[in-house]
Every structure is written in structure tokens, then in C-alpha cells.
Amino acid sequence: MTELAAVKAALRTQAVETPSWAYGNSGTRFKVFAQPGVPRDPFEKLDDAAKVHEFTGAAPTVALHIPWDRVDDYAALAKHAEERGLKLGAINSNTFQDDDYKLGSICHPDAAVRRKAVGHLLECVDIMDATGSKDLKLWFADGTNYPGQDDIRARQDRLAEGLAQVYERLGDDQRMLLEYKFFEPAFYATDVPDWGTAYAHCLKLGPKAQVVVDTGHHAPGTNIEFIVATLLREGKLGAFDFNSRFYADDDLMVGAADPFQLFRIMYEVIRGGGFTSDVAFMLDQCHNIEAKIPAIIRSVMNVQEATAKALLVDRDALGAAQRAGDVLAANAVLMDAYNTDVRPVVAEVREELGLDADPIAAYHRSGWAQKIAAEQVGASERQCAGGSEGLRPPPRLRIAAHSPWA
């Protein structure tokens, strides 16, 4: 198989999971700018996600967030996804939007609050059973704002205890994916602030616990590809949350801020065997001012292009230069691959799959944006967050006021 054929074969197998919350309205702490046609419920989020997959051929699963995507009948939701060529992906928990969690959730000093938080996580595993989802994704806003506010070590003990309870509930083919974030909303000490803390807890829990690398959850200048390489080496990289950030956790389109970093990350994924393993490539983004579906399509395309460039790295030449200690030659091998225009190759892959070479143009020609804007008017915030009644609201201005910060 030629190099080009190998790259195209690999790209045909790539799958990027899109997040349900990216299809709804979101914003900053100051303002949510509503857009016409945004989904009012989880069913309509899947309708939009199906369009992303239809035009990219690379987004077959959708992550859910509980309670934003809570419905009465999860089997019906899974069937709705299947009818649109999709599957339900990771189930994301929420232990950061309840008044009881002001001082933490599973790290809270009050045992009653900890039981409530663990109960929610166990509910998420029940939902996994109902939807066929394999991954439980956990992000905790737990932490403290002031020195002396709580016992740092005791909070780690509580975290370990709560995670162990949930871990024991997982099925044989299910995983726990633990995310980290170095600050926000806890500004003094975050309970899961970095990959080392997440790794330590996952290592103690066992093989069904792995680490999530959110590319926006790092201090400026952090060498994320080093983290990726290390976790892959240890068999503990479970998933990515792909996005971009300029300052903090901006949740911008992946590859928008630093496409070279995305390329470097994808090279380490390929180098470490993560491309052919169970590492999940997920998006975690907020589209506050840009059109949502095209932004998600563009994000999928950016991942595909970074992957294609990483696959083009001449690893034999790179290895030879590294062994010879030729610093400039080794760097040049990487730069040659990065500077290659891979868009024609990725377009060929789409055409070979029976897709349009330009997913964005195909989406705009489809008329879907105009259809949902015209038909879907008058959603409430509660319905857009996937209210517990599981109702399909009346016609669509699909307005969802939630804004995922994790």
C-alpha cells in the first residue's frame, strides 16, 4: 500500500464524537446570544448532529449531558439516533449546577451532599445501560477558593471514595473517563487540577478508569503532546475533549487557536498507537457567536486535516535524524508534513465515500438552516435543557440558555 493510500485508509476509519450541548445556545458569563433554529430537546439535537455526520461522514456518535439531555425514555432516544445513522456516545455528568454543590460535590465536607453527587453519577451509569453508551465522562468543579477553607488531603480521600463507588457499578464493557482542569471555578485548589492527579486516581481504580485530555484545560505554554505521549505509554489515555483556547477555557473550535499544536498532538496519538485503540476523539465546544452546525462541521474537518498531516510524517526519516542527533533535520521532517496541503487528499476521501468534497458548502446548499429556523419557534429554557418530562416542544426558535463551562 502506498503512503497516500495508507493515509486515506486511516482517514476513512476516523470518528469524531460531537457534543449535544454544542448545538444549543450558549454564551459567556455576560450574555447568551440566541440563534434561530437551535434545538429545544435532545431529539432535535440529534437531528442536527445527523447533519454533521451526513456531510462529513466522520461524526457517528453524540455525547449526552445529564440533566441537560434527560428524557423519560432513553431507549426511544437511542432509537431516534439509530434511525438517523448515529449512536449515543459518552454520558457526561453534572455536579456543578446545584446549590448543594457550592462547596463541592463528591469532595464536599458534608456526607449527605457527597451521597447526592454519587447518586447522580450512578444515575448516569443507569442511563448508559439504557442507551448502550460505553463511556461515563466525569468533570468536577470541586475545589476551594481560600487557604484553610477545607482539608486538601481529606478532599482527595473523599474523591477516591466516591469514584470507587461509581467504578464498582460499571459494566464489563463500560469505562470511567476522568477529566481535569487546573482552575475555574475553584481558584485556590482544584480537586482534579492536572493529568497527574487524574492519572493517580485512575491507576488506583483499575483498567476501566482512564484520563480525558481537554485541550483547553491547560496553562499557557503547557506541552500537551507530552501529556498525551505519557498517558498513551501508560495505557491510561481514554479520550480527548478537542477545542481551542487563547487565554483560559475558551471552548473555541479545535485548531482555531493553534493548528500546529493539534498536529503535534495527533502525531503523538499516531506514534503511541492511540489512533487504532479505544481513545475517543470528542469535541467539547461552545459556539457563542458563530453558526453552530457549520462550526461543528469545521471542527471535524480540522481534526481530519491535522490527522492527515500527522499520518504523513516520515517516521523512518524522523527516527534516523533523531538517532543521529541531527536536530534541524528531525524538526524539518515534522515541518514538511505539517506544511503539506492535505485538503485535496481529505476531499478525495469524502468523494470516495460518496460525500461532497466540501462539507460546509454542501450543508449550506441543503437548506437545513433555513428549515429549522422557519419550523422551530418558541422553545423555553427548561425544554431546551432536556426537561425531565421528555416532551417534544411545539414548533422550534430552539433556544437553550445553558452554557457548558466544563
Cell of 298: 469545521
Quick count: other Cβ atoms within 10 Å of Cβ 230? 17
Q: What is the pLDDT of residue 27?
A: 85
Question: What mean pLDDT is reported for the chain?
Answer: 92
Confidence of residue 382 (pLDDT cuts 50, 70, 90): very low
Res. 298: pLDDT tops 80: yes
Q: What is the pLDDT of residue 375?
A: 86
Q: What is the pLDDT of residue 234?
A: 97
Structural Rg of the chain based on CA atoms: 21
Res. 206: pLDDT tops 50: yes
Q: What is the pLDDT of residue 378?
A: 55
Per-residue pLDDT tens for 85-113? 999 999 999 999 999 999 999 999 999 99
Amino acid at 240: F
Q: What is the pLDDT of residue 394?
A: 38
Nearest-CA neighbor of 118 among 159, 90, 151, 176?
159
Tell me if the bond preceding 67 is cis, omega within 30° of 0: yes
Quick count: other Cβ atoms within 10 Å of Cβ 189? 17
Per-residue pLDDT tens for 242-256? 999 998 888 999 999
Confidence of residue 300 (pLDDT cuts 50, 70, 90): very high
DSSP code per residue over 130-161: HHT--EEEE----EESSTTSS-HHHHHHHHHH
Q: Which of 93-97, 346-350, 395-399 has the lowest mean pLDDT?
A: 395-399
Res. 390: pLDDT tops 70: no
Q: What is the pLDDT of residue 373?
A: 94
41-64 average pLDDT score: 98
Q: What is the pLDDT of residue 2?
A: 80
Domain ranges (residues) in the chain: 3-384
Between CA 57 and CA 85 the distance in angstroms is: 10
Q: Kindly report the three-state secondary structure assignment for every residue of 313-359.
A: CCHHHHHHHHHHCCHHHHHHHHHHHHCCCCHHHHHHHHHHCCCCCCH
Q: What is the pLDDT of residue 400?
A: 41
Confidence of residue 30 (pLDDT cuts 50, 70, 90): confident
The answer to whether domain 3-384 has CATH 3.20.20.150 is yes
Q: What is the pLDDT of residue 385?
A: 31
Quick count: other Cβ atoms within 10 Å of Cβ 99? 5
Q: What is the pLDDT of residue 403?
A: 37
128-156 average pLDDT score: 98
With a pLDDT cut of 70, the percent of the chain lying above it is: 93
DSSP code per residue over 216-269: TSS-TT--HHHHHHHHHHTT-EEEEEE-B-SSS---BPTTSS-HHHHHHHHHHH
For 142, 319, 323, the CA distances from 316, given in Å and listed in that order, are 45, 5, 11
Confidence of residue 392 (pLDDT cuts 50, 70, 90): very low
For 10, 105, 150, 186, the CA distances from 111, given in Å and listed in that order, are 49, 10, 14, 20
Res. 230: pLDDT tops 80: yes
State the pairing for strand pair 143-144/135-138. Answer: unpaired
Per-residue pLDDT tens for 362-379? 999 999 999 999 987 754
